[in-house]
Amino acid sequence: MFPLGLVAYPAEQVNLHIYEPRYKELINECHENKTTFGLLPYINEEHKEYGTEMKVSEIVETYEDGKMDIKTEGMGVFRMIEFVKKVPNKLYSGGIISRVDLIDDSIPSLLEKNIMLMQELFDIMQIQNNAILKKKNLRSFEIAHHVGFSMMQEYELLSVKRESVRLKLILEHLKRVIPVIREAELLKEKIKLNGHFKNIQPPI
C-alpha cells in the first residue's frame, strides 16, 4: 500500500517521485516482480476505504541515493478490508482488499450534457487547452480532474461503481459550480473597470 494525498483513477497515468525508503523498497519490488501496489488516498489525516490498483509502467530515472522518478498507471478500484500498518519484514504497509467490479453503463445523452457544460466552464474561465473535450469515448474518470472537484469529491467518485451514476454526479456538480464561477468572473471584470473611464448610457 502507498497512502498518498491524491486520488488516481483507472487508466490514469500518474508520475511519482519516490524518495522515502519504504516506498523505494515497494516500487523496486513491484518493478522487479511485475506486481501492482495500492494507491490509497490519504485525506483529512486518514487513509480512505477505496483506492486504486497501480502498476509501475516505467522507472524513468534512478538517482545515486536511490530516489526514483516513475510512471504508473491505474488498473482498477479496490476496497480496503483490513489495513496492515507494516508488512512483516518490509518497510511498507499493506492490506487485505476486495477488487471492485465497475459497471460500464454510460448514457450517451448524459455524457453529451457533461461535455457541453465542461465547454461552458472552460469558456467562462478562458481555458484554451481543452484537449479532453476532443477525446472519443470519454469516461467519467477522465473528466473528473477537469471540473474543479475537491479531493474529497474525487474520492467519492472513485467509490461509485456505475458509470451512469458518476456522470450524474459530475453533471450536478457542473450545474452548481458554473453559475458561481460566472458570477465571480463578472465581479472580476467589474473590479478591473474600477478607476477607468466608463461609457455609460444616461437614462432617457
Same domain? 62 vs 120? no
Same domain? 116 vs 77? no
β-strand pairing of 50-62 with 68-84: antiparallel
The residues, any chain, with a CB within 8 Å of residue 33's CB and separated by 6 or more, are none
Which of 70, 100, 130 terminates a domain? The answer is 100
The Cβ-side half-sphere exposure at 122, using a 13 Å CA radius, reads: 15
| Start-to-end Cα distance in the chain | 71
Domain range spanning residue 75? Answer: 2-100
d(CA 115, CA 113): 5
Would you state the torsion angle of the CA atoms of residues 73, 95, 42, 21, taken in this order, to the nearest 10 degrees? -80
- Residue 7's identity, in one-letter code, is V
- The answer to whether the CB of 40 falls within 8 A of the CB of 2 is yes
Residue 204 lies in a domain: no
d(CA 194, CA 129): 30
pLDDT (0 to 100) of residue 184 = 85
Same domain? 95 vs 12? yes
Residue 189 lies in a domain: yes
Tens of pLDDT, residue by residue over 30-74, are 999 999 999 999 999 999 999 999 999 999 999 999 999 999 999
The reported pTM is: 0.85
Mean pLDDT over 79-91 rounds to 95
User: 197: pLDDT confidence band, cut at 50, 70 and 90?
Assistant: very low
Residue 203 lies in a domain: no
Which of 100, 125, 149 terminates a domain? The answer is 100
pLDDT (0 to 100) of residue 202 = 54
Residue 200 lies in a domain: no
Same domain? 29 vs 70? yes
Tally the domains of the chain: 2
